[in-house]
Amino acid sequence: MSDKYDVIVIGSGPAGYVAAIRAAQLGLKTACIEKWKDDKGKGINGGTCLNVGCIPSKALLDSSHKYHEAKDSYSAHGISTGKMSIDVPAMIARKDKVVKQMSGGITGLFQANKVTPLYGTGKLLKGRKVELTDNEGKQQILEAENVILASGSIPVNIPVAPVDNDVIVDSTGALEFTEVPKRLGVIGAGVIGLELGSVWGRLGSKVVCLEAMDDFLAIMDQQIAKETQKILTKQGLDIRLGCRVTGSKVNGKEVEVTYTDKAGKEQKETFDKLIVCVGRRPFTEGLLAPDSGVNLDERGCIYVNDLCSTNAPGVWAIGDVVRGPMLAHKGSEEGVVVAERIAGQKPLVNYDIIPNVIYIQPEVASVGRTEEQVKADGEEYSVGTFPFLAIGRAVATGDADGMVKIIADAKTDRVLGCHIVGPNASDLVQQVAIAMEFGATAEDLGMTVFGHPTFSEAVKEAALAVNGHAIHMPNKKKRK
């Protein structure tokens, strides 16, 4: 095996493996380095997202949702299930099977596209050389015309709640519980905290989310955020805003958490498990030699320009390790663009139209700008909203919580953003993302024929409502 490549990718998460496959498709000799190993020490692909992130969490979210529906919703359909129980080890085993299947799929794609998988850790040296330390500790130096850094991110730890991987866990440990904790504390009510809290809450945990921010989902459109909070509270999730954790003490199999509430008073809660979900940070430990020529910014991200090029010639960085939202699909798109630029093409990533999704139930999804952002920019805009309660398909399926909100430029009617809390929001928002990519107006969306009965009709009606033309609800006065 030659040690010289056209492209070496470090990391096989959604950013890295996509970059490697696309580079190989374009005729570039490509290798991809991955440090993940299974419990037998064998190298596996997929990075954080596939092994302990997006995929396993969605598997557990699906299992817990099915249990919740069978326990609490089937009777309305005339379906009697009798006494319900949850086999947590079986649920975790299913999750592991899904992960193994997906990881094997990436390995198969590497084979089909002639990507060379290398298992171990990679360190970027000067002059586009990469030091590979394999899983047995053997080292070798590889050379490449281009190196793509896609090392991903890891959970942020906080001194006041040190992870012990038993009572206090991070997002990885929360995927491996062997039983449903009766009392579950979650530090952080962001995307990851809400998803993991939802998993165990549906299965019977009494969940308390302690969020330091005063506003719920501050990065989201606040009308949608408030609606989401109302729905989650109705479901039983105890979300406490403005609460800063100041300490924790493990006593046997439980943990006492001390925090200051919104009024500044000290409070205490005892939990059987505590999940620390206060964010993620770029993973660069051991990645860069001092003379690699690659710089980090003030947040610890690898510094890149708009084209994902670093300060070092021929070295690129993509995904969670660079600026921007830590979203798998954002990293994948950067991977494609970088591979194509290496091959001489000139594509760009449209960072203005990257969907964001929270996979709770109902889902929350957004694309484009929020109303708060548009207002802060001083632009004139119009808003259309439509509730799922007025959608026949949603009422028929008993999944009618939430709404669709569309924001459009008041003068041109061009769609500026879409924000949804409701059934299938992750798929519905993509319809608007496509429309925005082609510069569509709210009128364009409103004139499009949508099938009936579908959840998608809420998108059409919200678009019609922008200009006061909604059919299935009274129209509010058009925003100036």
Contact at 8 Å (CB) between 186 and 164? no
What pLDDT shows up at residue 479? 45
Contact at 8 Å (CB) between 459 and 367? no
Q: Which helix (H) or strand (E) holds 52?
A: helix 47-52
Closest CA to 322 of 347, 295, 345, 344: 295
Q: Which residues of the chain have pLDDT under 70?
A: 1-2, 477-480
Domain ranges for the chain, please list them: 4-155+281-342, 168-278, 362-466
> Would strands 403-409 and 415-422 be described as parallel, antiparallel, or unpaired?
antiparallel
d(CA 17, CA 106): 8
DSSP symbols for 79-120: ----S----HHHHHHHHHHHHHHHHHHHHHHHHHHT-EEEEE
What fold characterizes domain 362-466?
Enolase-like; domain 1 (3.30.390)
CATH superfamily of 168-278: FAD/NAD(P)-binding domain (3.50.50.60)
Site of tokens 């719920």: 216
Same-fold call for 4-155+281-342 versus 362-466: no
Has 472 been annotated as catalytic? Answer: no
| Chain segment 103-121, per-residue pLDDT in tens | 999 999 999 999 999 999 9
What pLDDT shows up at residue 2? 54
Residue 137: both structure tokens together = 């500790």
Considering the entire predicted model, what is its pTM?
A: 0.96
Cα angle 187, 191, 192; round to 5 = 60
Residue 445: both structure tokens together = 């969306």
What pLDDT shows up at residue 478? 54
Any bridge partners for residue 421, and if so which? 364, 403
Task: Say which CATH class 4-155+281-342 falls into.
Answer: alpha beta
Contact at 8 Å (CB) between 84 and 67? yes
Please give the C-alpha separations between residue 305 and each of 10, 20, 283, 313, 340, in angstroms, as whole numbers: 19, 20, 19, 12, 16
Please give the C-alpha separations between residue 115 and each of 26, 54, 94, 99, 476, in angstroms, as whole numbers: 11, 24, 29, 21, 56
The long-range contacts involving 173-177, CB below 8 angstroms and separated by at least 24 positions, are 173/275, 174/199, 174/200, 174/273, 174/275, 175/52, 175/56, 175/57, 175/60, 175/92, 175/95, 176/92, 177/88, 177/92, 177/273
Catalytic one of 65, 329, 452, 469? 452
d(CA 201, CA 228): 16
What pLDDT shows up at residue 246? 98
What pLDDT shows up at residue 3? 82
